[in-house]
């Protein structure tokens, strides 16, 4: 993902953008060479994942499932990050018309499509931030995304939170890749791939 240098941003935003850019770069490296089977590998029963839906794929939604099945696949985590970037970008300087429900029903099902979707969502958020100035980053409610605290917080707090989510979920993805490399898929999942 080509990103603009953090120096082009308002001074107070520059460290957060540099952190974002580095985190995206590390995530790109960690996802290198992933295949479809590993992308959807379920490390435990009842994991949150992407599933066939109609003629496409759909990401499990947290509000539709028992929260005790909180183990997630790489596909689900990547989709969550993509959704976060797309929604926050749309509700910060877009048309305010994307919804989680709308996004989750037209999900990519392959590793190649999913990683492209992931990095597109992150790039859109990064592009949005590159257009912000000091007034924007101090404005409470600059992001109007209605699913969360965005309308009640300055944009700078939202940028910090998105970075935290990116770092957290990228670490989960890295761990799942390491676990998959050591354990490999159970026999029943090999047949399902």
Residue 120 covered by a domain: yes
Residue 47 covered by a domain: yes
Residue 191 covered by a domain: no
Residue 190 covered by a domain: no
Mean pLDDT of 104-114: 87
User: Tens digit of pLDDT for each residue in 32-52?
Assistant: 999 999 999 999 888 999 998
pLDDT at 179 over 60: yes
Number of domains observed in the structure of the chain: 1
Residue 37 covered by a domain: yes
Residue 192 covered by a domain: no
pTM equals: 0.88
What CATH number has the domain bearing residue 107? 1.20.120.450
**What would the two tokens of residue 173 be?**
């993805």
Residue 116 covered by a domain: yes
- Give the model's pLDDT for residue 188: 59
Instruction: Compute CA distances 154 → 97, 127, 143, whole Å.
Output: 21, 18, 8
User: Tens digit of pLDDT for each residue in 50-63?
Assistant: 998 888 898 887 76
Q: Which domain holds residue 167?
A: 6-184
Residue 1 covered by a domain: no
User: Tens digit of pLDDT for each residue in 141-158?
Assistant: 999 999 889 999 999 999
């Amino acid at each position: 993902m080509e990103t603009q240098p953090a120096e082009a941003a308002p001074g107070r935003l520059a460290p957060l953008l540099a952190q974002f850019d580095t985190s995206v770069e590390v995530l790109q490296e960690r996802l290198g060479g992933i295949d479809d089977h590993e992308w959807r590998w379920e490390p435990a029963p009842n994991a949150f994942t992407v599933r066939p839906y109609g003629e496409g794929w759909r990401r499990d939604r947290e509000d539709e499932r028992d929260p005790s099945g909180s183990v997630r696949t790489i596909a689900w985590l990547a989709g969550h990050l993509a959704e976060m970037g797309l929604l926050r970008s749309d509700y910060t300087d877009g048309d305010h018309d994307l919804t989680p429900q709308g996004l989750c029903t037209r999900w990519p099902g392959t590793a190649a499509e999913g990683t492209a979707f992931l990095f597109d969502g992150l790039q859109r958020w990064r592009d949005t931030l590159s257009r912000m100035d000091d007034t924007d980053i101090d404005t409470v409610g600059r992001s109007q995304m209605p699913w969360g605290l965005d309308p009640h917080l300055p944009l700078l707090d939202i940028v910090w939170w998105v970075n935290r989510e990116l770092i957290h979920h990228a670490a989960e993805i890295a761990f799942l890749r390491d676990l998959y490399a050591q354990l490999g898929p159970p026999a029943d999942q090999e047949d399902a791939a």
